[in-house]
Amino acid sequence: MKLRTPLSLAAVLVAATAGAAPAQTAGTGHGEERFNTRLVGMNDLQARSAYQPLPVRQGERRIVYVGHHAGERPNPLTGAVEPNGTSVVDVTDPADPVYLAHIPATGGASGAQMVQACAGDRLPGADAGRYYLLRSNGNRSHEVWDVTDPAGPAFVRTVAEMGRTPTGEQHTHKNWWECDTGVAYLVGTVDGWRAPRILQIFDLADPDAPSRIRDFSLPGVQPDASGPIPGGSGLHEAVRLGNRVYLAYGTSNNGAVQILDRDRLLNGDPDAAAPLAASPAALAYPQLGRIDLPSFWGGHTAMPLLGVEIADYAGNRDHATRDFLFVVSESVANACRETRHVTLMLDITDEAHPLPIGTFQVAESSGGFCERGGRFGPHAPQWSMEPPFYGKLMVVSWFNAGARVIDVRDPFNMEEVAYYIPATTERTDERCATVDGAESCQVAIQTNNVEVDDRGLIYLADRADTGLHIVELTGPAATIIDTAQD
């Protein structure tokens, strides 16, 4: 059974049946709100602003690596004030998360928002039995760390130093690491390219010896181009599945989504004199499909849902099984001082002609979210493409509306089946906005990114310093991913 329950009703149900936290005075925070979910455990992450949680299975242990925004905080484990970097948390017992280590940003950088991990057993050129972490290092570089001992991470090397745009900007952003091949898709700045974020592809099969394969972006971003720069702020992230790489550009405005042939991307046109050159022809060669979004929406993430059997189409001879992309446009302004952002579902069965077929949104009126403080709107979906969630449920962070759980088994008819909004704590930072000429500051949860694991757990990272929340589904939502039925 699929349910769509407004937040206000769910809050009443929680208060009646689960002992919800009492309401707090406006501007001072709020209690937990949940529907078909339950909080399992929490860690405050030393009150560091958190970007991305990445759960990893390391032997018999479960470790979550959490990337942080810029800033600094005291580390009780070392007694020092450290620039934000990467938190390492043992969640083998999700009800009792244990903070193991903090890996500060290096070389004067601050923050290390993006994390990926690979086991040496899978990387073709790595040492078996070891585990490696790939992370951004502020806006300066991307790095590899040896995290075989999660409590004692060891620096391996810098993979890539970031350059600068012609206007002096320097950025890093989301990375994607193919553990089966070692190919790493890094996002950041390369000298001369016109956008602050482009794709930098490395062979990282041996973490000690990275080699650059190519740089890539939309035609018109290359150094010798002129005219308008396509793709807004540039590439936000790459996602690989099979022989496809899905690129999302623009983050929150002037967005675009590309579908690329991976082999063509990595090897270029064999008949060209310079197959991997920064030329319009070489940049266009891997593209199978592209859609340009409205000026007020961007491409934060494009997550593929391939081979979906549409039950209602079973009687049709053709295309009853279809391919889709779940695309997020990121909210970036507090107190709704922006266009309302949404998630889009694209039908990409015909890759050359991606077609929007629907949106998922959280109704502002269901929780008075514009007045709560902070951002209200989508940020990022789960990255995991493994059971039990993939192809059934998509979890999306929604800033002050927490984590939203969407039934995507029929992408033409997406429905929300669960959500979780953590309670604020004394560590939750306030967010300010100027509304009608007056500044207003309020304390509210800002769920930044989410991820899921094979145990059916959902991990929420809060950018307002509250910490890491570990949640499980309950009720009808839990039956959708019941592993006993898989």
Coil vs helix vs strand at 475: helix
**What pLDDT score was predicted for residue 12?**
32
Distance CA(480)–CA(486), nearest Å, equals 10
Name which of 50, 107, 48, 110 is nearest 73 in CA terms: 48
* 8 A C-beta contact, residue 53 and residue 46: no
Q: Where are the alpha helices (DSSP H) in 215-299?
A: 262-267, 280-284
- Where along the chain do its domains lie? 50-421
Coil vs helix vs strand at 156: strand
**What pLDDT score was predicted for residue 483?**
52
The tens place of each residue's pLDDT in the chain, 486 residues long, gives 333 333 333 333 333 334 334 334 446 899 999 999 999 999 999 999 999 999 999 999 999 999 999 999 999 999 999 999 999 999 999 999 999 999 999 999 999 999 999 999 999 999 999 999 999 999 999 999 999 999 999 999 999 999 998 889 899 999 999 999 999 999 999 999 999 999 999 999 999 999 999 999 999 999 999 999 999 999 999 999 999 999 999 999 999 999 999 999 999 999 999 999 999 999 999 999 999 999 999 999 999 999 999 999 999 999 999 999 999 999 999 999 999 999 999 999 999 999 999 999 999 999 999 999 999 999 999 999 999 999 999 999 999 999 999 999 999 999 999 999 999 999 999 999 999 999 999 999 999 999 999 999 999 999 999 999 999 999 999 999 985 444
Distance CA(200)–CA(247), nearest Å, equals 12
Paired tokens of 419 = 């959500």
Cα dist from 67 to 85, 386, 458, whole Å: 6, 21, 16
Q: What amino acid is encoded at 433 in this protein? A: A
Distance CA(297)–CA(339), nearest Å, equals 8
Contacts of 249 (CB under 8 A, 6+ apart): 218, 230, 231, 232, 233, 234, 235, 236, 255, 256, 257, 258, 298, 299
DSSP letters along 100-117, please? EEEE---TT---B--EEE
**What pLDDT score was predicted for residue 28?**
81
**What pLDDT score was predicted for residue 261?**
98
pTM: 0.94
Paired tokens of 80 = 């020092």
Distance CA(286)–CA(271), nearest Å, equals 14
Distance CA(377)–CA(363), nearest Å, equals 10
Contacts of 23 (CB under 8 A, 6+ apart): 30, 31
First to last CA, the chain: 17
Q: How many helices (H) and strands (E) does the chain have?
A: 4, 32
**What pLDDT score was predicted for residue 54?**
98
* 8 A C-beta contact, residue 184 and residue 212: no
Distance CA(328)–CA(346), nearest Å, equals 11
Distance CA(52)–CA(395), nearest Å, equals 14
388 upstream amide cis, omega within 30 of 0: yes
DSSP bridge partners of 345: 326, 358
Phi and psi angles of residue 164, each rounded to the nearest 5 degrees, phi first: -140, 150
* 8 A C-beta contact, residue 66 and residue 45: yes
Distance CA(338)–CA(333), nearest Å, equals 6
**What pLDDT score was predicted for residue 482?**
83
| Domain 50-421 CATH assignment equals 2.130.10.10 | yes
